[in-house]
């Protein structure tokens, strides 16, 4: 288990994480909890890109509406990365599970942080 995964799961860390299995198969479950499934999502400049996620599928999750501060962070990231307008970002985020039915595109667009 990596230090990040162990921290998230309140467990002791190990310094040795063998990446051979995840690099070969693309997915390894290191334990039963959140953030204990390691995914190889691709390579960049010859280096593997890895991320941790939960082992369950999105359809198995009871969605909770995101908070305004969390959405504000996503808005800022999408604006910086893709140069999208506030309304495009709002429409995109409002259509995702969790936000859908709780937030409108207009409400999300209004969350844009002032620069």
pLDDT single digits (tens) 70-115: 999 999 999 999 999 999 999 999 999 999 999 999 999 999 765 5
For the beta carbon of residue 85, count every other beta carbon within 10 angstroms.
12
From 24, 41, 60, give the residue that closes a domain.
60
Question: Are 47 and 23 members of one domain?
Answer: yes
pLDDT of residue 24: 96
Q: How far is Cα 57 from Cα 54, in angstroms, rounded to an integer?
A: 8
Q: Is residue 114 part of a domain?
A: no
Average pLDDT over residues 15-37: 87
Confidence of residue 9 (pLDDT cuts 50, 70, 90): low
Task: Write out the residue range of the structural domain in which residue 30 sits.
Answer: 3-60
CB 34 within 8 A of CB 28: no
Percent of the chain, pLDDT > 90? Answer: 63
Percent of the chain, pLDDT > 70? Answer: 84
Question: Are 56 and 11 members of one domain?
Answer: yes
- Into how many domains does the chain fold? 2
- pTM of structure: 0.66
């Amino acid at each position: 288990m990596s230090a990040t995964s162990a921290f998230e799961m309140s467990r002791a860390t190990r310094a040795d994480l063998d990446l051979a299995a995840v690099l070969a198969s693309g997915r390894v479950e290191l334990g039963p909890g959140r953030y204990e499934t390691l995914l190889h999502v691709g390579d960049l400049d010859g280096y593997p890109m890895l991320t941790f996620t939960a082992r369950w599928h999105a359809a198995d999750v009871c969605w909770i509406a995101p908070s305004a501060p969390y959405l504000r962070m996503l808005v800022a990231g999408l604006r910086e990365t893709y140069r999208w307008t506030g309304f495009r970002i709002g429409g995109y985020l409002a259509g995702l599970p969790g936000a859908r039915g709780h937030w409108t595109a207009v409400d999300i667009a209004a969350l844009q942080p002032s620069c």
